[in-house]
Amino acid sequence: MRNFIKLITVAFLAVIVLAACGGNDTSSNEKEINNDEKLKVITTFTLLEDIVKQIGGEYVETYNLVPVGTDPHEYEPLPQDIKETEDADVLFFNGLNLEGGDGGWFTKLTESTGQDDAIIYEVSAGVEPMYLSSEDGTEEEVNPHSFLDPNVGMIMADNIKEALIEVSPENKEEIEENAQAYQTTLEEMDEQYKTRFAEIPKEDHILVTSERAYQYMADRYDLKEGFIWEVDTEENGSPEQITTLVEFIKEENPPVLFVESNVDSRPMETVSNESGVDIFEDKLYSDEIGALGEEADTYIKYLQYNIDKIHAGLTR
């Protein structure tokens, strides 16, 4: 018996040695990228980090500022964030007021670290802004949530591609290849959104969520929007906001109500109790993609997840 175990052990070690040699043989043929040569990229929120990784591939090393489960509209940078921002080769922010706009937390962070404006890129540059209305209806504020529309994703991916090529022209060919494949996936996603929204009866094209995050998507695919509050930074779930939405629901009669992954679900529970319309069992994603390993942990999966849940909810 002991000899048998010995034999097994020897055979096992031999396999390991062979595997290790084999590994060395193949890797010596590949182009190796030293960690020092990688571009150090800062992103403000998880969705951007994912697009940068998809397009930058092995040429980038990312550091994301606002973690999953945290509001990107208002954020308090940590000491580590400040250090990483100082050391970055290129920085990406969404813009369209997502990070609080001029004078918001991201502007303050880059100004305090003395980062060069030339390497700070606004990923939503070129996106046609849509506006929220303030409670008294006088002031208009840009709605930051344009990325819920896959067509906006195409503009963002293009901006990221151009920026990465600008800061690392030596990697142009591979970055362009990655970006092309990514654009094709986004185009297919847009086709899928069109097809699946067309399957939902016209009278059920009503999307009720907590925050008014789906304005761009609703405009693109012709949905009526119901919401409790316009943007996370304002009062969330006041009695007036609840009453207004309950009246909207009684008039429009949506099949279900939705709650987003990053908001307090209690105000929508009140709306559901007062209107008699159920909340859909799964949350939608808006300001963030899922944590690594979760169902919607890339931007593409996030878009897929949202259309799957919205379609399921509105066709019941």
Could you tell me whether strands 140-142 and 131-133 are parallel, antiparallel, or unpaired per DSSP bridges? antiparallel
Q: Distance between CA 306 and CA 188 in Å, rounded?
A: 15
Shortest distance (Å) from residue 120 CB to Zn ion: 22
Q: Which residue has the tokens 């962070």?
A: 109
Shortest distance (Å) from residue 267 CB to Zn ion: 15
Looking at the Cβ atoms of 55 and 310, the one nearer to Zn ion is 310
Looking at the Cβ atoms of 49 and 232, the one nearer to Zn ion is 232
Q: Which residue has the tokens 């949350």?
A: 283
Structure tokens belonging to residue 272? 């559901």
Shortest distance (Å) from residue 282 CB to Zn ion: 18
Shortest distance (Å) from residue 261 CB to Zn ion: 11
Structure tokens belonging to residue 243? 């009453």
Shortest distance (Å) from residue 236 CB to Zn ion: 11
Q: Which distant-in-sequence residues (6+ apart) come within 8 Å of 83 by Cβ?
A: none
Q: Which distant-in-sequence residues (6+ apart) come within 8 Å of 159 by Cβ?
A: 121, 122, 123, 124, 125, 126
Looking at the Cβ atoms of 179 and 310, the one nearer to Zn ion is 310
Looking at the Cβ atoms of 99 and 232, the one nearer to Zn ion is 232
Give the DSSP letter of residue 34.
Answer: -
Shortest distance (Å) from residue 131 CB to Zn ion: 15
Angle at 150 between CA 105 and CA 200, to 5 degrees: 125
Q: Distance between CA 157 and CA 179 in Å, rounded?
A: 7
Shortest distance (Å) from residue 102 CB to Zn ion: 18
Looking at the Cβ atoms of 145 and 161, the one nearer to Zn ion is 145
Q: Dump the DSSP string for 74-99.
A: S----HHHHHHHHH-SEEEE--TTTT
Taking CB atoms, the residue at the shortest distance from Zn ion is: 287
Looking at the Cβ atoms of 158 and 288, the one nearer to Zn ion is 288
233 phi/psi in degrees, rounded to 5? -75, -15
Shortest distance (Å) from residue 269 CB to Zn ion: 19
Looking at the Cβ atoms of 104 and 255, the one nearer to Zn ion is 104
Give the DSSP letter of residue 262.
Answer: T
Q: Which residues bind Zn ion (CB under 5 A)?
A: 232, 287
Looking at the Cβ atoms of 144 and 255, the one nearer to Zn ion is 144
The alpha carbon of 99 is separated from its chain's Cα centroid by a whole number of angstroms, namely 14
How many C-beta neighbours within 10 Å does residue 202 have? 7
